């Protein structure tokens, strides 16, 4: 994962638990906390920080990963507003992630570890995203979808079935807008 992801995790922990909270997470994880946004660090390092944050905050790691995805959207909007502003709404935005957003991210960070999404069942009010990644961060994807929905002020229902954590070869995220 790129250092920028670590920066965003630090911002989230600091916002909620202060600098002391972040320092406690670093200590628990045995990390010096020196991350450069364009550098690449092992995925295990990020997961170690999430596990440490779970210890420090008492929240399940799964819940933190979701909250992290949700929080990331605010940071992405600050850094890349055009991706959001060019979309007419949540579904329109989500279908651009694989074809446009992550393609541009790859140009910026050539060694980024990005997932692969395919889409089907796309209508005005629904879409299915099939998520494939060796990192199996589908909870992060769920959080990113939640944050994006908040950005566009849209309500939705999500069905996540099947899931790679249950042995499937991809996670299918079925999103239906609720009006
Ligand atoms: C403007 C919006 C977005 C930007 C700029 C963006 C950018 C990024 C970046 C920089 C990474 C980390 C790559 C690395 O550390 O090597 C990443 C990873 C990821 N992104 Fe996005 N992203 C955006 C929206 C989304 C949305 C809406 C979703 C899901 C619906 C999504 C799904 C993911 C997932 C699941 C990962 C983790 C890596 C993996 O699963 O393999 N992204 N993205
Ligand atoms: Zn899944």
Query: Which residue segments constitute the domains of the chain, with CATH numbers given?
Result: 3-59 (no CATH), 89-178 (3.90.1520.10)
pLDDT at 167 over 90: yes
Ligand 1: does its nearest atom lie under 6 Å from the Cβ of 144? yes
- Give 139-151 pLDDT, tens digit per residue: 999 999 999 999 9
pLDDT at 179 over 90: no
pLDDT at 159 over 90: yes
Q: What is each CA distance from 123 to 56, 92, 150, 170, in whole angstroms?
A: 43, 10, 20, 21
The whole-angstrom separation of Cα 68 and Cα 63 is 9
Ligand 1: does its nearest atom lie under 6 Å from the Cβ of 122? no
Q: If you measure from the C-alpha of residue 136 to the centroid of ligand 2, how many angstroms do you get, rounded to a whole number?
A: 7
Q: Which ligand is located closest to the Cα atom of residue 144?
A: 1
- Give 51-68 pLDDT, tens digit per residue: 999 999 999 999 999 999
pTM: 0.96
pLDDT band at 100; cut points 50, 70, 90: very high
Q: Which residues of 128-152 are buried (b: 16+ CB within 10 A; e: fewer)?
A: ebbbebeebbbbbbbbbbbbbbebb
């Amino acid at each position: 994962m790129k250092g920028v992801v670590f920066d965003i995790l630090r911002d989230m922990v600091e916002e909620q638990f202060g600098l002391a909270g972040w320092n406690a997470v670093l200590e628990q994880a045995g990390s010096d906390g020196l991350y450069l946004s364009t550098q690449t660090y092992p995925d295990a390092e990020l997961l170690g920080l999430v596990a440490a944050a779970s210890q420090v905050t008492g929240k399940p790691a799964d819940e933190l990963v979701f909250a992290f995805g949700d929080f990331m959207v605010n940071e992405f909007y600050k850094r890349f507003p055009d991706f959001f502003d060019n979309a007419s709404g949540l579904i329109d935005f989500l279908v651009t992630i694989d074809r446009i957003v992550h393609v541009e991210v790859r140009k910026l960070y050539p060694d980024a570890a990005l997932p692969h999404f395919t889409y089907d069942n796309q209508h005005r009010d629904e879409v299915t995203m099939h998520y494939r990644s060796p990192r199996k961060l589908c909870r992060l994807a769920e959080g990113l979808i939640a944050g994006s929905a908040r950005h566009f002020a849209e309500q939705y229902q999500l069905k996540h079935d099947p899931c790679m954590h249950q042995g499937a070869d991809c996670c299918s995220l079925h999103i239906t807008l609720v009006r």
